[in-house]
Structure 1
Amino acid sequence: MAGIPNAQQEPSARIKIFIAAHTPSVFPDCASILPIQAGTATAGKTGGTVFEDMLHDDDGENISDLNPMYSELTVLYWAWKNTDADYIGLGQYRRYLNFSQNSYAEDKAGEIPGAYINAQSISEYGLNDASIAQAVTDWDIITGPTRNVHKLYGFTNLKEQWDADRHLRSADLQHMYDILCTRHPEYREDADTVLNGTQFIPNNMFVMKRNVFHDYCSWLFPLLGEFVANWDHRHADVELLRTPGHLAERLLTIYITHAQRVELGDSSASSVNGPLRVRQLQCVRFSHPEPFTPLEPLDTNPRFTVPVIFAADDDYVPVLATAITSLLRNASPDRHYDVIVLDRFITTENKQTIVASLSDYANASIRFYDMSRFIAEHQTPQTHLHKEERWNVATCYRFGIQEALPFYSKVIYLDCDVVVNGDISELYDIDLHGKAIGAVPDLDFLGNLNMKQNAAAAYASDRLHMTDPYHYFQTGVLVMDLDRMREIHSVSEWLDYASRPELTHHDQDVLNMECEEDVAYLPYEWNVLHNCGGRVNTIFSYAPADAFRAYLESRKHPNIIHYAGPDKPWTNPWCDFGPLYWSYARTTPFSLQIMAMLADVRKPKPVEFHERAIAEDHPARKYVDKVAPIGSRQREVMKAVARRVQGKQ
């Protein structure tokens, strides 16, 4: 529910756009945008949270308790009865009109895809007083863009679109049509035009001049009130219960269509004179309007705390869980382990499962830090430019640690494709003697350096500008002096270096470039690379003799085994150190998922329900069901043909 200030803020009572919200969100901090909790009365009765830093739609004259049916319209009603301004509008916590003078690319739903509400997006989409005032002045109605249901979904008209919805009922749309035509017969022509047409204005988002706003609300709410009074919704599901809100989207389109066809002042029920000036703006939909909560220091003695950082997405959760399990099984009971996962799109369920499965370890904390916002805010033109080469968002993880965890001066970073076979506090306690990085030499790179006609030496010299290529280290296991890292470069500077297209291993190469003289070399047993593809004899054995002998010795008592390379124990159980990996993996709640990965069983995609190509009551449907039963190949062919004819493909 935090507010993001903007540089162009100027207090104004002329424009009030009420942003309906039912969940904690970030809002632009300007006088024209006013967050208000929708359904506050319902939240209070059901034990939900009443947000103190918003307006509430149960103050004054209100219909807040009807929110399950009216959705954001309870906010609209509250604004109608309790406020005044030259311009009054309605928005949603994740959707805003684009008040800037710029146009942006839209997705298939006709919306600008946004990520986070922050200073950058506020400036980009004109979510400030000056831009809003410039956009709305001299217009009577400002709405979002018209949606064409034929181009988007292949429907021939709005009635067909409504009927195809799995929750909505055609009888309800007809009921509202009858009410409208009875109360306002002069709107029949416009209702027919809209409902038999293909275009409507979705989302109940608009800004209206005061007199138009009051005229619209005086017209809308009696229609909805009569509908609800005679509507049987005793057994309605959650979405069907929101029918009045869905109806309002069509009614808004009908109201505007009528206003542009005739002068509303000609109607005895209208207080508006003259033709209405209507402007449409783009709509931006933010995928992550929720506030960001940074991690805080643990309430533990920092002298005994060992912070260990992993990075993973949802697909890698079984591997992540195995790595954390191995770490804690070998952890000292005399230390506290702050395990922090830099995550991207890990589901809440998977997070809860990981935490619950490791709850017996009283000396450990499992925490998650969402990197999605960080990645979005730190992407540069360079990173976008090289996205199709080797750039990967995971590159951000190692460099983001110094900003994400400002309260730590020293941490351990581990790749997920490891098992920890010793007490990692011993690694953390190694003195780096003021160096930025603690790491193990990279046997793969060192072996390549000694091969005949190999380009590794030239690469290290010409591209990495290393003084001595034999200093090259492996970054799957790192001890990081974050204070020293912060002195060397800011996060943006690290990422700019890592985005260079000439680099092969972006983050690892950059760390070697910038920390060649700032690294403390760790014993090999803290990053024992497994024998992927027989590389011990084909590559590692070419490394300098002392390094190779130290590596061979470390294999006898490995503290961390690193399954770097394509040969993984979850795809090949016979791989080097495979049995050791499975001794940990089989004890996690994700063991069956890892076995599925072993059997090359892909994670199924979520089931999606699409609008029907042929409606249930379509005359042709009974013949289609006989000729092409559901699930048959014929059925899929006919569906593809139908969608192509309807313009969906």
Structure 2
Amino acid sequence: MSILVLSDALTELPPSISVIQSEIGEAGGFSPAFLSDLKIGESDHLLLSSEAVHLSPNLEQAFVQESYLTEKTIATHHLFQEESLRTQLGDNQVLACKEEVLATTVRSHLVNQLKVHESDLQNVLSLLKDLYPHYHEAALAYLEQKSYLKVVAFYMQASLAQEFARMVQRVAKSFFDNFDFAKVDVHRLRSLRHFFPLLFSAFLSAPPSLQVKRIGSVSILHPTIDLFLPLWKEEATVVVFASNEKFAPALAVCMNSLLEHTDPSHFYDIIVLESDITEFSKARLELLVSRFGQAKLRFFNPKALLFGRQLQKNPADHISLETYYRFLIADILPQYSKVLYLDCDTVILEDVAKLAAVDLQGKVLGATIDVEIPALAGGLDPDLGPYLSKVIGLGEGEAYHQAGVLVLDLSKMRSLHSVDEWIGLAGERKYRYNDQDILNKECRGHYYTLPMEWNLVVDCNHRRLPIIEAGPYSVLQEYLEARRHPKLVHYAGFEKPWDAPDSDFSHLFWHYARTSEFYDRLLAMVHMSSSSPGKQSLLLRLFPRGSKRRSFAKRLFYRTTGS
């Protein structure tokens, strides 16, 4: 069976199905090129979908709508399954969508509701009369009935499909040969796609009429959203970020620093997981990357993969929804085995290909230790030690890792948990540090500890270093050494360089900001931050980030919620 999907825009469909996609113009399937380049055997069958509508061999009702064409949607409705389609076909010649019943005739519906020009309709009918008189009579009969075929989706023998295609091609070519594109707008051009179902209905009912079985269909609300990203270059270093429009300027600075330290002989596949970055900001980021021929930038919206899942955002912290995107990476990049995940509030001072080349020694992921946790769990936060022991399952002396810089073995991540299982874990409200806690719990014993120089967290508001000093001396030594020779600086915490330009290591951020495409916007952000102190929320004024009062409030929250 050959599967053809007519689409307004080519997308990456689920890898479980082998589909031929054909990008159509404004007139849809009503085209001189319809099926012209499709190579199928005469004895084969063709399954065709158009207008984001797919035949469902197990659907009792005429029509259902799904948001995305996911693997779950395909399995639920038996989409693209040849055995089920053949069973439904039986002794019939064609499977097609069920028709709708209108309150008026099809002709009236086309002209009055769908704004098809009467002159265009008459032109098509005239061409049918000249070229295919028997189809002309069938088309006239169809226009006077109240059973209306909205879209074309069918399953039939290839020879029949090719016969239909020749009819469409010939009529469409004759129509467009005399069509003055200079005198029509896009709305009139789009109205021509309604002639595709008209021709199909005439093809089915013209004598000798074909044996047609009408079955249910599934309409996809968002058909142009990709569900995964294909492999770009097998030898490329893959770097994944999660961002939103608010953090786009910081992402630009991070990417600029990354690109400044790349090897010209190596390839870098940069992937940004996002749902609301504007086209204007994307254009700026693409302009930045275009200066480096060895790098490719791709954006991916995970909305389809998150659809229907409940993600718990911790109300007591500043963790954003984008943080959870890292759990989806294994599904987004099904052809990849090893990638880097980096928080975008970082500055990179070394070639990340060297980080990606680290031998994880069979572990699931690589990360640095969280430098504050030993001191906090050792007594500064009386509740943290028992929490790490009881909830996370860490034994005495076991390291707790920071999740802002990760080297991920995706093959092992998939073996450990499915994406559904990871997201299910993320929905549990018992965790203090959300996804970071989940990774530490589920990957316990499967961490490879990276040198701290690859994730040097800054001394946020001069409050982090005193905490580290209260912990093990060996951790302090490693932290101080990493500060002397950092390979990646992470502005973790509430204090960011664009809010506090004189904060720890902010000079590095502004060094790369000056040559990024967002320098003007970053300067505006600094101005807004310094000139609008009164815009702080009441919650932040009562419980400032980093304050003892906020820490107490968080501990109280965890106790009352049983965390």
The bucket for the TM-score relative to the shorter chain is 0.5 to 0.7
How many Å separate the matches in 1 of 2:84 and 2:486? 62
Work out whether 1:137 is the aligned partner of 2:90.
Answer: yes
Q: Describe the SS at the equivalent of 1:441.
A: coil
Work out whether 1:387 is the aligned partner of 2:311.
Answer: yes
Give the share of equivalent positions with the same residue, in percent. Answer: 21
How many Å separate the matches in 2 of 1:577 and 1:126? 54
How does 1:210-249 map onto structure 2 within 5 Å? 231-236=179-184, 240-241=188-189, 244-249=192-197
How many Å separate the matches in 2 of 1:529 and 1:211? 66
How does 1:64-463 map onto structure 2 within 5 Å? 71=29, 73-74=31-32, 90-92=48-50, 95-101=53-59, 106=64, 111-115=65-69, 121=74, 124-137=77-90, 142-144=95-97, 157-163=109-115, 169=117, 171-173=119-121, 191=143, 200-207=148-155, 231-236=179-184, 240-241=188-189, 244-250=192-198, 270-272=207-209, 279-285=214-220, 286-287=223-224, 293-298=230-235, 307=237, 309-313=239-243, 315=245, 316-329=247-260, 331=261, 338-344=267-273, 354=285, 357-358=288-289, 365-367=294-296, 376=305, 386-388=310-312, 393-396=324-327, 404-406=335-337, 413-421=341-349, 438-451=366-379, 454-463=382-391
- Flag the 1:349–1:100 CA change in 2: closer, same or farther, 3 A: farther
Q: Which has the higher contact order (CA 8 A, sep 6+)?
A: 2
- Corresponding letter in the other structure for 2:490: H
**Superimposed CA distance per residue, residues 170-210 of structure 1 (whole angstroms, 9 cap, x where no aligned partner):** 6534666798999868976863565xxxx843333335799
Tell me the TM-score normalised to structure 2 length: 0.65
Q: Describe the SS at the equivalent of 2:256.
A: helix
Q: Does the CA contact (< 8 Å) of 1:448 and 1:539 recur in 2?
A: yes
How does 1:413-562 map onto structure 2 within 5 Å? 413-421=341-349, 438-451=366-379, 454-468=382-396, 471-478=399-406, 482=409, 490=415, 492=417, 496=421, 499-500=424-425, 501=428, 502-513=430-441, 516-517=444-445, 519=447, 521=449, 524-532=452-460, 535-536=463-464, 540=468, 542-544=470-472, 547-548=475-476, 551=479, 554-555=482-483, 558-562=486-490
Q: Does the CA contact (< 8 Å) of 2:57 and 2:77 recur in 1?
A: no
Q: Does the CA contact (< 8 Å) of 1:295 and 1:405 recur in 2?
A: no
Q: Does the CA contact (< 8 Å) of 1:396 and 1:495 recur in 2?
A: no
How many Å separate the matches in 2 of 1:509 and 1:389? 13
- Flag the 1:416–1:188 CA change in 2: closer, same or farther, 3 A: same
Q: Describe the SS at the equivalent of 1:394.
A: helix
Q: Does the CA contact (< 8 Å) of 2:7 and 2:21 recur in 1?
A: yes
Per-residue deviation at 1:221? 8.3
Per-residue deviation at 1:332? 8.1
Q: Does the CA contact (< 8 Å) of 2:271 and 2:299 recur in 1?
A: yes
**Superimposed CA distance per residue, residues 102-157 of structure 1 (whole angstroms, 9 cap, x where no aligned partner):** 77994xxxx434436x798378524233211222335576433557999xxxxx95
Aligned to 2:555: none
How many Å separate the matches in 2 of 1:430 and 1:228? 59
**Superimposed CA distance per residue, residues 454-476 of structure 1 (whole angstroms, 9 cap, x where no aligned partner):** 42112211111110266212122
How many Å separate the matches in 2 of 1:351 and 1:465? 41
Q: Describe the SS at the equivalent of 1:249.
A: helix
Q: Describe the SS at the equivalent of 2:402.
A: strand
Q: Describe the SS at the equivalent of 1:471.
A: coil
How many Å separate the matches in 1 of 2:162 and 2:479? 79
Aligned to 1:581: 509
How many Å separate the matches in 2 of 1:35 and 1:519? 42
